[in-house]
């Protein structure tokens, strides 16, 4: 061996000792094991050196472990298994979990124990102050800089890595700590005399109790305010290692049981403290939490959460993250009455990030207050929601336009309640006559999907997707969760089911997508009948059905009787249906005339109009009038006839083969029938959850999701005939979460082929026709409809009503009489607009 080789080797030994010292391994132990390892590997320094001497560290851990157990088997470790143990650094970065997966459990535990010890030390001396002072962040910054120096990858390496650990499903339950991290953890152990733990101490089942506090695998040590940048309490600029200008927003939540602590933390914000105490009133444990949000102008948002118990928890075990999510989801569902079957904490976090970005970039909610006032983004969102001025009152069903356009008293879809990709404001009816508009992400026009471009509704993480690459990651290395495959039951088995009703209808309702084959309808619960959500007042005593309202003496089929029974009374002594089960021509014509030419018909006026009350509770305007609807009364349970009686059409359910299909025009999903439908044919009811308007309001306040399409229908039939309707009598149907195939019916301004007719079943109360027991809004064909022709309904939106606080969706109905003249390229629609305006 020449002198140079010796010198080089000496240097290697020094490096090895140094690396092991950083992990608290005494020189003597290192020496002893290094010798053995050199012997075993036939002086293969390349292997030993690799990955910051990780091979050596593993060997020492195992060796020491075996020693403790009195075994001497370490020599059998297979050094020829490079993939098992020796991951090149870039491999590890690409998949941190993989870096550890090859380690035997023993080593894994050892490592966890090692880090756990460090962490336990740390947590034994909690120092809340350290969380927001410069000490932690300084360290963190160094940490990141070191990482950068050691890495050949981009300055975003740190960010990538930790974010991936946080989000990548495959990394969630796996230890993702490299030797390097381990070294850093120890090297920086002084720093952990605060609340902070090294990243990576979490995860993995089957580990020793390690820390006395829980935290997500977070970017705490990764996102750092710059040394040089001026330090702000809330919006901390982050140096270039996080690309562009960044902001770190740190919010310390609970001050728990000590006012002192609040002061200590230097957080004077009253709200913050009170939030905290609220959070903790019922909790006997002493703990505190905080979260940090960091973002960059290129759209990265990172959230870190920390929750610290002040007391030791010897029973502490790192939970499985999926199980944890599930627990929180269950809790949220119960506590906040969340009904969205899709609700997921992961998505919530995504929304959180999105909202943060929106707030930070002043997209929708104004001046990015989150950055200057240090208020948590969710609060910011609430506060920044645009409240209308007093005269900007909410017109629930566009009453003015209802009168103008004949839609009074019709069940209507209120202006799209859409926090959607179209960037529409959310329409929210406040209980006492206030309208709250919230706004959402500014994906606007670019989200109007056409051709094969999926909509944001089907792809709630469309932002990520738009930035994504084909392999499912975006340029930032974030994992893209493809929501477009979400299915009705939350699984990916939708294609196999091929019946969105899941057998609840007489005929299968298939799904077809010739435009974008991968895309499936958004998730919802299929229900064939209305459900009462909670408070809707719809009690109906059977005793109220008198003899004059039923035909108890009938038998078999009422329609075949030479004299119409009492049930035909509502339709002028004639049944509304033909023996073929179609709505009679005269009746249908009259219904259509009511819709198309309301001025020819009479109105009723409320004493105190719920619509006006919802506009201004204190000083409501006079009722502008409601059209008197025509009903069909079907035979009821008190009737003597058979279920196959010809006057029981709607209650027997869907009797046509329907299909949900993806429209080519960009309207999202629509419905069509597989066979030709004659005029007057029953297609389906509009089914959903029956909510009071107050409940709808609350629901919409809660839901600030990215729904592109909305599904609520106001139920205002016969209001005028009532004295005064209370708030809990003001009802609507919301098919967003629970609904039937009708939720896919799209709007058409002119010549829609469906018409809605109220059907009385089991209730003579017209103002509740829609919800009383089985009463319903039913769709019938207004003309003959060809097989596979889209079935459409006129929602009654007045696209010309520019005073309406809610902007309607851009109509793509394509009809000659499209009322959305602002967007329509159809010259006919412009010239006809007065004639066709409904």
416: contact with ligand SAM by CB under 6 A: yes
Q: How far is CA 294 from CA 235, 298, 534, in A?
A: 9, 12, 39
Q: Which of 387, 379, 389, 388 is nearest to 359 (CA)?
A: 379
For ligand SAM, the closer of residues 636 and 799 by Cβ is 799
First to last CA, the chain: 98
Asked if residue 271 lies in contact with residue 298, where contact means CB atoms within 8 angstroms, the answer is no
Q: Which of 499, 500, 525 is nearest to 689 (CA)?
A: 525
For ligand SAM, the closer of residues 174 and 746 by Cβ is 746
Stretch of 99-107, 678-686, 709-717, 768-776 lying at the interface with ligand SAM (CB under 6 A): 709-717
Q: Which of 534, 503, 478, 477 is nearest to 699 (CA)?
A: 534
Q: How far is CA 111 from CA 23, 50, 211, 212, 644, in A?
A: 10, 18, 14, 17, 72
Judged by CB under 6 A, the residue of 615, 746, 775, 782 near ligand SAM is 746
For ligand SAM, the closer of residues 188 and 455 by Cβ is 455
Residues 82-101 within binding reach of ligand SAM (CB under 6 A): none
Stretch of 295-303, 645-653, 685-693, 705-713 lying at the interface with ligand SAM (CB under 6 A): 705-713
Question: What secondary structure does DSSP assign to 278-321, as a single string?
Answer: HHHTT--S-EEEEEEEEEETTS-EEEEEEEEESS--TT--PPPH
Residues 640-699 within binding reach of ligand SAM (CB under 6 A): 667-670
Asked if residue 331 lies in contact with residue 270, where contact means CB atoms within 8 angstroms, the answer is no
743: contact with ligand SAM by CB under 6 A: yes
For ligand SAM, the closer of residues 395 and 743 by Cβ is 743
Stretch of 83-91, 567-575, 740-748, 821-829 lying at the interface with ligand SAM (CB under 6 A): 740-748
For ligand SAM, the closer of residues 384 and 523 by Cβ is 523
Q: How far is the CB of 461 from ligand SAM (least distance, A)?
A: 18
Coil vs helix vs strand at 275: helix
For ligand SAM, the closer of residues 669 and 738 by Cβ is 669
Coil vs helix vs strand at 690: strand
Stretch of 92-100, 337-345, 633-641, 811-819 lying at the interface with ligand SAM (CB under 6 A): 811-819
Q: How far is the CB of 494 from ligand SAM (least distance, A)?
A: 14
For ligand SAM, the closer of residues 476 and 731 by Cβ is 731
For ligand SAM, the closer of residues 354 and 746 by Cβ is 746
Residues 6+ apart with CB under 8 A from 258: none
737: contact with ligand SAM by CB under 6 A: no
799: contact with ligand SAM by CB under 6 A: no
For ligand SAM, the closer of residues 711 and 737 by Cβ is 711
Q: Which of 214, 233, 249, 217 is nearest to 379 (CA)?
A: 249
Asked if residue 526 lies in contact with residue 502, where contact means CB atoms within 8 angstroms, the answer is yes
415: contact with ligand SAM by CB under 6 A: no
Q: How far is the CB of 491 from ligand SAM (least distance, A)?
A: 20
Residues 465-504 within binding reach of ligand SAM (CB under 6 A): none
809: contact with ligand SAM by CB under 6 A: yes
Asked if residue 112 lies in contact with residue 210, where contact means CB atoms within 8 angstroms, the answer is yes
Judged by CB under 6 A, the residue of 54, 418, 419, 501 near ligand SAM is 418
What are the phi and psi torsion angles at 259 (to 5°)?
-65, -35
Q: What is the DSSP letter of 228?
A: S
Stretch of 103-111, 368-376, 631-639, 707-715 lying at the interface with ligand SAM (CB under 6 A): 707-715
Q: How far is the CB of 739 from ligand SAM (least distance, A)?
A: 9
Residues 6+ apart with CB under 8 A from 133: none
Question: What sign results for the dihedral spanned by CA atoms 759, 762, 768, 770?
Answer: negative
Stretch of 204-212, 531-539, 548-556, 706-714 lying at the interface with ligand SAM (CB under 6 A): 706-714
Q: How far does Cα 198 stand from its chain's mean position?
A: 31
Judged by CB under 6 A, the residue of 711, 719, 737, 738 near ligand SAM is 711
Q: What is the DSSP letter of 33?
A: H
Residues 225-264 within binding reach of ligand SAM (CB under 6 A): none
Coil vs helix vs strand at 397: coil
Largest CA distance in the chain: 120
Residue nearest to ligand SAM (CB): 668
Q: How far is the CB of 538 from ligand SAM (least distance, A)?
A: 23
For ligand SAM, the closer of residues 329 and 665 by Cβ is 665
Q: How far is the CB of 404 from ligand SAM (least distance, A)?
A: 20
Q: How far is the CB of 717 from ligand SAM (least distance, A)?
A: 19
744: contact with ligand SAM by CB under 6 A: yes
Question: What secondary structure does DSSP assign to 22-82, as a single string?
Answer: TTT--HHHHHHHHHHHHHHTTS-HHHHHHHHHHHHHHHHHHHHHHHHTT---GGG--TT-H
Residues 326-355 within binding reach of ligand SAM (CB under 6 A): none
**What burial letters (b/e) apply to 210-231, b meaning 16+ CB within 10 Å?**
bbbbbbbbbbbbbbbbbeeeee
Stretch of 176-184, 199-207, 356-364, 739-747 lying at the interface with ligand SAM (CB under 6 A): 739-747
Residues in contact with ligand SAM, counted by CB under 6 A, come to a total of 18
Q: Quote the CA–CA distance of 237 and 409 in Å, as a whole number.
A: 55
Judged by CB under 6 A, the residue of 197, 747, 770, 819 near ligand SAM is 747
Asked if residue 722 lies in contact with residue 767, where contact means CB atoms within 8 angstroms, the answer is yes
Angle at 94 between CA 90 and CA 99, to 5 degrees: 80
368: contact with ligand SAM by CB under 6 A: no
804: contact with ligand SAM by CB under 6 A: no
For ligand SAM, the closer of residues 62 and 420 by Cβ is 420
Q: How far is the CB of 708 from ligand SAM (least distance, A)?
A: 6
Asked if residue 285 lies in contact with residue 258, where contact means CB atoms within 8 angstroms, the answer is no
Stretch of 2-10, 65-73, 141-149, 808-816 lying at the interface with ligand SAM (CB under 6 A): 808-816
For ligand SAM, the closer of residues 89 and 709 by Cβ is 709
813: contact with ligand SAM by CB under 6 A: yes
For ligand SAM, the closer of residues 275 and 418 by Cβ is 418
For ligand SAM, the closer of residues 474 and 815 by Cβ is 815
Q: Quote the CA–CA distance of 545 and 58 in Å, as a whole number.
A: 82
Q: Which of 533, 726, 510, 550 is nearest to 645 (CA)?
A: 550
For ligand SAM, the closer of residues 456 and 692 by Cβ is 456
For ligand SAM, the closer of residues 126 and 670 by Cβ is 670
524: contact with ligand SAM by CB under 6 A: no
Helices and strands: H and E segment counts in the chain: 25, 23
For ligand SAM, the closer of residues 174 and 401 by Cβ is 401
For ligand SAM, the closer of residues 722 and 734 by Cβ is 734
Stretch of 52-60, 115-123, 499-507, 806-814 lying at the interface with ligand SAM (CB under 6 A): 806-814
Q: Which of 29, 31, 51 is nearest to 39 (CA)?
A: 31
Beta bridge partners of 776: 759
796: contact with ligand SAM by CB under 6 A: no
Query: How buried is 378 (Cβ within 10 angstroms: 0-12 exposed, 13-18 middle, 19+ buried)?
Result: middle
635: contact with ligand SAM by CB under 6 A: no
Q: Quote the CA–CA distance of 44 and 22 in Å, as a whole number.
A: 22
User: How many CB atoms within 10 Å of residue 467?
Assistant: 15
Q: How far is the CB of 296 from ligand SAM (least distance, A)?
A: 32
Q: Quote the CA–CA distance of 307 and 268 in Å, as a whole number.
A: 20
User: How many CB atoms within 10 Å of residue 778?
Assistant: 24
**Binding region for ligand SAM (CB under 6 A):** 416, 418, 667-670, 708-711, 743-744, 746-747, 809, 811-813
């Amino acid at each position: 061996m020449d002198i140079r080789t010796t010198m080089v080797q000496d240097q290697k030994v020094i490096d090895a000792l140094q690396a092991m010292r950083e992990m608290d391994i005494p020189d003597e132990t290192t020496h002893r094991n290094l010798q053995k390892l050199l012997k075993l590997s036939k002086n293969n320094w390349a292997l030993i050196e690799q990955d910051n001497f990780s091979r050596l560290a593993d060997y020492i851990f195992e060796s020491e472990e075996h020693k403790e157990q009195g075994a001497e088997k370490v020599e059998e470790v297979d050094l020829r298994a490079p993939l098992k143990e020796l991951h090149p650094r870039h491999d590890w970065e690409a998949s941190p979990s993989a870096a550890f997966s090859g380690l035997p459990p023993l080593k894994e535990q050892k490592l966890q124990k090692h880090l756990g010890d460090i962490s336990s030390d740390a947590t034994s001396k909690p120092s809340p102050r350290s969380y927001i002072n410069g000490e932690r962040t300084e360290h963190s910054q160094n940490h990141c800089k070191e990482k950068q120096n050691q890495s050949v990858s981009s300055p975003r390496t740190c960010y990538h890595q930790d974010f991936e650990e946080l989000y990548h499903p495959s990394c969630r339950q796996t230890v993702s700590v490299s030797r390097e991290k381990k070294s850093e953890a120890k090297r920086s152990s002084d720093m952990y005399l605060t609340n902070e733990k090294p990243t990576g101490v979490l995860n993995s089942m089957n580990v020793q109790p390690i820390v006395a506090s829980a935290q997500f695998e977070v970017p705490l040590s990764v996102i750092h305010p710059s040394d040089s940048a001026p330090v702000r309490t809330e919006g901390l600029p982050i140096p270039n290692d996080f690309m562009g200008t960044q902001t770190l927003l740190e919010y310390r939540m609970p001050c728990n049981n000590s006012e002192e602590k609040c002061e200590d933390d230097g957080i004077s914000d009253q709200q913050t403290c009170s939030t905290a105490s609220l959070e903790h009133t019922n909790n006997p444990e002493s703990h505190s939490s905080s979260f940090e949000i960091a973002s960059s102008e290129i759209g990265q948002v990172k959230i870190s959460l920390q929750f610290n118990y002040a007391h030791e928890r010897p029973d502490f075990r790192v939970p499985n993250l999926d199980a944890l999510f599930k627990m929180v989801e269950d809790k949220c569902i119960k506590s906040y009455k969340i009904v969205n079957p899709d609700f997921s904490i992961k998505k919530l976090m995504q929304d959180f990030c999105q909202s943060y970005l929106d707030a930070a970039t002043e997209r929708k909610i104004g001046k990015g207050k989150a950055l200057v006032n240090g208020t948590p983004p969710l609060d910011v969102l609430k506060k920044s929601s645009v409240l209308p001025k007093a005269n900007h009152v909410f017109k629930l069903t566009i009453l003015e336009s209802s009168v103008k356009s004949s839609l009074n008293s019709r069940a209507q879809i209120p202006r799209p309640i859409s926090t959607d990709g179209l960037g529409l404001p959310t329409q929210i009816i406040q209980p006492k006559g206030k309208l709250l508009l919230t706004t959402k992400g500014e994906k606007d026009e670019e989200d109007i999907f056409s051709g094969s471009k999926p909509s944001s509704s089907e792809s709630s993480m469309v932002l990520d997707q738009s930035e994504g690459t084909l392999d499912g990651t975006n340029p930032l290395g974030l994992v893209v969760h493809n929501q477009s495959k979400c299915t009705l039951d939350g699984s990916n088995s939708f294609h196999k089911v091929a019946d969105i009703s899941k057998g609840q209808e007489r005929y299968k309702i298939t799904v077809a997508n010739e435009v974008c084959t991968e895309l499936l309808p958004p998730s919802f619960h299929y229900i064939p009948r209305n459900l009462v959500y909670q408070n809707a007042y719809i009690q109906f005593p059977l005793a109220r059905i008198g003899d004059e309202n039923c035909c108890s003496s009938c038998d078999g089929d009422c329609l075949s009787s030479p004299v119409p029974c009492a049930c035909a009374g509502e339709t002028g002594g004639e049944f509304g249906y033909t023996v073929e089960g179609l709505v009679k021509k005269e009746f249908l014509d009259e219904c259509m005339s009511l819709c198309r030419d309301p001025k020819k018909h009479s109105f009723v006026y409320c004493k105190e109009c719920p619509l006006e009350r919802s506009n201004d509770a204190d000083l409501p305007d006079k009722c502008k009038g409601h059209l008197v609807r025509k009903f069909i009364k079907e035979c009821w349970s008190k009737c003597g006839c058979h279920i196959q009686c010809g006057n029981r059409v709607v209650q027997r359910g869907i009797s046509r083969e329907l299909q949900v299909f993806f429209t080519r025009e960009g309207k999202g999903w629509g419905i069509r029938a597989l066979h030709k439908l004659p005029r007057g044919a029953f297609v389906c009811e509009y089914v959903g959850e029956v909510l009071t308007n107050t409940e709808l309001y609350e629901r919409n306040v809660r839901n600030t999701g990215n729904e592109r399409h909305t599904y609520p229908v106001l139920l205002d039939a016969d209001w005028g005939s009532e004295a005064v309707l209370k708030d809990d009598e003001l009802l609507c149907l919301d098919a967003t979460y629970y609904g039937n195939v009708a939720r896919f019916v799209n709007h058409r301004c002119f010549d829609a082929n469906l018409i809605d007719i109220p059907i009385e079943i089991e209730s003579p109360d017209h103002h509740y026709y829609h919800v009383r027991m089985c009463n319903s809004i039913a769709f019938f064909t207004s003309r003959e409809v060809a097989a596979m022709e889209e079935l459409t309904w006129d929602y009654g939106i007045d696209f010309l009503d520019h005073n309406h606080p809610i902007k309607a969706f851009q109509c793509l109905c394509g009809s000659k009489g499209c009322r959305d003249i602002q967007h329509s390229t159809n010259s006919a629609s412009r010239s006809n607009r007065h004639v066709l305006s409904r």
